[in-house]
A and B are shown apart, each in its own frame.
Chain A
Amino acid sequence: MTGKLVPLRRVSGDITEMSDEALVAACGTGDAPALGALFDRFHTAVYRFAGRLPMTDDLARDDLVQATFLEIRRAAPAFRGTSSVKTWILGIAANVARHTLRAERRRRAHQARFLERVAAAPELLDAQLERRKLLARIAEALARLPRDQQIAFILCDLEQLPGVEVARALDIPEGTLWRRLHTARKAMRHAIEKAESRP
């Protein structure tokens, strides 16, 4: 296509010295370099979050990451600083993931395939392979969780974000978050216990 230019005007000041909050504010004015800087700072966290969500493939993760940063740009004017920028961004990623039906279908398909693979796995004998099998059980348990519980578990326990901020970012009551987390943890715990109880 022709005739389209990406605005690359600079935000005022050295972008590398701007705080996360200032970048979000600049992004909210439509500043493309600020969005680029936010990507540079937080893409690892978003990719890691997306990578932990059971999905089919890398491209599905790419979809989520891209949608998240586009949503960040859209939502930036509404950022109020009630949580850290990282939590806010991961909350956006979580909401994008939660509301993407297509991703949900992928997740279920992936889960089905994953379970087939696990079921077809040969008996493993040595300790290292046993541990790998245990991790597979954990992954399986994570994949089986409802998406909301997955998100709570990943944000709070794997990304180790403060629960209060996570609840705010997900726009849910704190008690709901803790309940989801409790259920998710219980499922993960049972997965380990089940694996260890097998001969």
Chain B
Amino acid sequence: MTCPGEIELARALSTGGDAELAAHLASCATCRAAWDATRVAIELARELPVAMPSPPRREEMRTAILAAAAGPAQLPARRSWRVPAIVAAAAAGVIGYFATHAASPPSAHTHGTVRPAPGARYVVSAIGPDEVITLSEGELDVEVEPLHPGERFRVVVGGSELEVRGTAFHVAADAERLVEVAVAHGRVDLTPDHGAPATLAAGQAWHATAFAERTRSPSPRAPSAATELREAEPLAEPRDPSAERRVLSAERRDPLAASRVPSTERRDPSAERRDASAASGNPSPSPSAATAIRGRDPSAASRVPSTERRDPLPPAVGRSPSAERRVLSAERRDPLPSAVGRLPSAERRDPLPLPSSRAPDEVAYDDAWAALRSGDFGRAAGSFSRVVLLVPDSPLVEDASFWRAVALARGKRSAEAASAFRDFLDGFARSPRAGQASAMLGWLLIDAGAFDDAARRFTAASGDPDPQVRHSAGAGLDALAQRKR
């Protein structure tokens, strides 16, 4: 037999070869050497490490896929939308179709689905490849599938315009005036009729009210009124009612807004408490409260004035795997807000185009929050650390220290998290977050078997003004008491 050709050899290496090849290899040193060397290379390549996702990440991905697959922008259905969309658009163009739509069912367009709230008035002004929805009044939830090159999707409100590329967002108008835009995922380019253009990334919102207020009383650090961006449910997680432990909810605080507010204002705990008290005492939204972003609990969000953007407790720590699985299962039952918020990671990574003059601590802080929202807890912890390292006297250090500990806890780095919480409590003993930190540290200490220390931490947290913190501390003390019995 002559030496085998490359195709024959390649096939034989995969299928094992036949007796004739085996005989040849036994007699041809050159082919034998190539054969053996190739097999060694393959075996070595099989040893290359492959990173697999953590179980929570896998669940997150599963949820996101199911939510995305169930979305209206299903590719197989896409072509079938064109006919009704064209008909609808033609009707709009010819007879000036101008409708008041009911909340359901959603109407399909070429690039996505518009879901109008009751009373919304909008018209399809143009269809693809440059689709335009003109909104006059009311609210729309819009989901747009990723666009191909040359395709556009725009929503026009009076003189304002939103341009999107594969996203889901909420838009509200009042008398042909843009009132609010909130982006669930993807990115929206906003050109308001007044103010500078802005790009909103996932979890951010633009509010006309905030814009108006800001123009009346400009903050010295506000880079642009139109970039009044707020966070939308960065880490809110469903509660696990069966879990003995308190499932600590997420912070909704707006890191960007915080970074733009003078530090004296931001770090005044009494002012924050006053805001919180006002929020709890007056559930009717202030003008800016109407800008609440649709999240896991939209009704709750709409009740909370934007001055109180945070849940008092950070996300759960030390949950058992089973508890976590239950939470994730619950999330699948109500998958959209969280799932869509976490959808394509490329979108999650979209950087926020803020002015380049931002301070490095702010950049790191924003990056940390983006990572925290996306579940990349390692990067979040690292970026929060950078805030402290880059600008040790930054007004963000206190928050960064706290959230670094939270990120470590959520990343299951319990020992490091406990240490970080201790550092935070040592450095910021009078922080309004001290109670939260103590409670979270208490649970970590229970996991670590340090029950006496845990009891001390829970006791310290039990005097916190926030009822949720006190509840968490009480639950911790109860758990310790039960353990003793």
Contact A192 B44 (CB under 8 A): yes
Asked if B1 is an interface residue, CB under 8 A from chain A, the answer is no
Alpha-carbon separation in the docked complex, A62 to B347 (Å) = 12
Known: A36-B62, A189-B34, A191-B41. A1 touches B10 (CB 8 A): no
Binds A, one of B48-56, B129-137, B387-395: B48-56
Residues in B with CB closer than 8 Å to A156 are 14
Alpha-carbon separation in the docked complex, A142 to B45 (Å) = 8
Contact A2 B9 (CB under 8 A): no
A165 to chain B, nearest CB (A): 11
Question: Which residues of chain A in 52-99 are interfacial with respect to chain B, using CB atoms and an 8 Å cutoff?
Answer: 52, 58-63, 65-67, 69-70, 73-74, 77
Asked if B358 is an interface residue, CB under 8 A from chain A, the answer is no
Contact A157 B346 (CB under 8 A): no
Question: Which residues of chain A in 81-125 are interfacial with respect to chain B, using CB atoms and an 8 Å cutoff?
Answer: 102
Known: A35-B65, A66-B61, A66-B68. A74 touches B74 (CB 8 A): yes
Choose one: A1, A70, A186; the contact of B294 (CB below 8 Å).
Answer: A1
Asked if A144 is an interface residue, CB under 8 A from chain B, the answer is no
Most interface-central of A60, A62, A139 (chain B CB within 10 A): A62
Chain B: interface size category: 35 or more
B116 to chain A, nearest CB (A): 10
B170 to chain A, nearest CB (A): 6
* Interface residue tally for chain A (C-beta within 8 Å): 58
Choose one: B11, B15, B66; the contact of A6 (CB below 8 Å).
Answer: B66
Contact B69 A70 (CB under 8 A): yes
Alpha-carbon separation in the docked complex, A3 to B64 (Å) = 17
Contact with B along A150-186 (1 / 0, CB 8 A): 0001001110001100000000000100110110011
If over half of B's interface residues share one DSSP class (helix, strand or loop), that class is named, otherwise mixed; here it is helix
Contact B344 A193 (CB under 8 A): no
Most interface-central of A40, A69, A179 (chain B CB within 10 A): A69
Asked if A7 is an interface residue, CB under 8 A from chain B, the answer is yes
Residues in A with CB closer than 8 Å to B53 are 47, 58, 62
Asked if B320 is an interface residue, CB under 8 A from chain A, the answer is no
Contact B103 A3 (CB under 8 A): yes
Asked if A4 is an interface residue, CB under 8 A from chain B, the answer is yes
Most interface-central of A35, A142, A158, A178 (chain B CB within 10 A): A178
Asked if B464 is an interface residue, CB under 8 A from chain A, the answer is no
22 interchain pairs, CB-CB under 8 A: A1-B184, A3-B106, A5-B70, A6-B67, A6-B70, A6-B332, A32-B70, A43-B62, A51-B51, A51-B52, A58-B376, A59-B349, A63-B344, A66-B343, A70-B69, A74-B75, A135-B47, A138-B45, A138-B48, A158-B45, A163-B11, A181-B10
